[in-house]
Structure 1
Amino acid sequence: MVASMIVREEVPEDIGSIFEVTAKAFATLDISDKREPYVIEALRHAGALSLSLVAVFDGRVIGHVAFSPVAVSDGTEGWFGLGPLSVHPAYPRRGVGTALVREGLARLQSLGAAGCCLVGHPTYYVRFGFMNAPGLNVEGVPPEYLFAMPFKGEVPKGVVTFHEAFEV
């Protein structure tokens, strides 16, 4: 873990740094279409950025995670999507992403969320308690990349639709 790193909610002064960190984090990933920083901006502009946390070290933003509401076709309410999650490439494998995810999930639970889902790497998110959820899907996404974590009740069944900001 990066010593003396803090995780807190974003403030307006963080917006440029969030864009920069997100762009750098996804710049070399083959699975990325490089839209991630624009997704965050679009979520913020639409008022759909329900929770936006930054990791700050030595006065600089070195990581960010976004949470936004999702719709589930079975009518289940209170579910959120995690993502994008970004860590500055200068801070790999130092617990930045882990701290952001854990804090974000704890805050969602304290707000009364029913659960959280995401599209992500098959081996990364299981350590937080996320699992593949048979019966839950996102159009165009292979099932091994969709993960869910119920905070209360069961995992819903149906199609998950992320906010339209993800289409920017």
Structure 2
Amino acid sequence: MEIRSERPADVVAICELTTLAFKNTAHGSGTEALIVERLRAAKALAVSLVAIEDDELVGHVACSPVTIEPDQPDWYGLGPVSVRPDHQRLGIGQALIHAALDELRNLEAAGCVLLGDPGYYHRFGFASDAALTYRGSRSRYFQRLFLRGTSATGDVSFHPSFDD
């Protein structure tokens, strides 16, 4: 499997893959492909990586800037993470997440946040943190990972592309 940056020729396949990956999930909103398209159009895809296996696109991960009030720069949101359903549970998502976090470190990101299953994302070092809220409230599903530095406090907003 190869993990590389998105190329213009990948855009349609990323949209199709993301739609398919979230189609029958309990946690999907059905807007994940649109979110990626909006992030791309807004030039807010700080990281956009694809997984290629046998010349087919089988996975994608996106990272985009987030806002933390009061102002704390260099934080990013992870997601969506998409893996073709027939390739799930084979380590592709995990490899994409590790690669995305490495890219954020190369960007000298202070940290990364996400909304996701704590049981899954704990393996990457993500944890809930009472000092960070999402839309003014705390949730065990809202998690952070420090990449540089050790503290962040405030309310986090994802890029407006995530707004329905």
Query: Is this a same-fold pair by TM over 0.5?
Result: yes
Q: Of residues 6, 10, 16 in structure 1, which corresponds to 2:6? A: 10
Question: Secondary structure of the residue that 2:4 maps to in structure 1?
Answer: strand
Q: CA deviation at 1:140?
A: 7.0
Structure 1: stretches of 5+ with no match in the other structure: none
What CA RMSD, in Å, does the superposition of the two structures yield over aligned residues?
1.2
What residue in structure 2 maps to residue 119 of structure 1?
Answer: 115
Question: Secondary structure of the residue that 1:154 maps to in structure 2?
Answer: coil
Same amino acid, percent of matched pairs: 41
In the alignment, does 2:132 pair up with 1:163?
no
Aligned residues: 164
CA distance, structure 1, for counterparts of residue 43 and residue 65 of structure 2: 10
CA distance, structure 2, for counterparts of residue 141 and residue 22 of structure 1: 28
Q: Of residues 96, 99, 105 in structure 1, which corresponds to 2:95? A: 99
Q: CA deviation at 1:155?
A: 3.2
- For residues 32-51 of structure 1, what are the structure 2 equivalents within 5 Å? 32-51=28-47
CA distance, structure 2, for counterparts of residue 91 and residue 30 of structure 1: 18
Question: Secondary structure of the residue that 1:126 maps to in structure 2?
Answer: helix
C-alpha contact 1:70 1:80 (8 A) present in aligned 2: yes
- For residues 5-154 of structure 1, what are the structure 2 equivalents within 5 Å? 5-139=1-135, 143-154=139-150
Q: CA deviation at 1:142?
A: 5.1
CA distance, structure 2, for counterparts of residue 155 and residue 148 of structure 1: 10
TM-score (structure 1 length as normaliser)? 0.94
1:58-80: CA deviation from partner (whole Å, max 9, x where unpaired): 11110000000000002110000
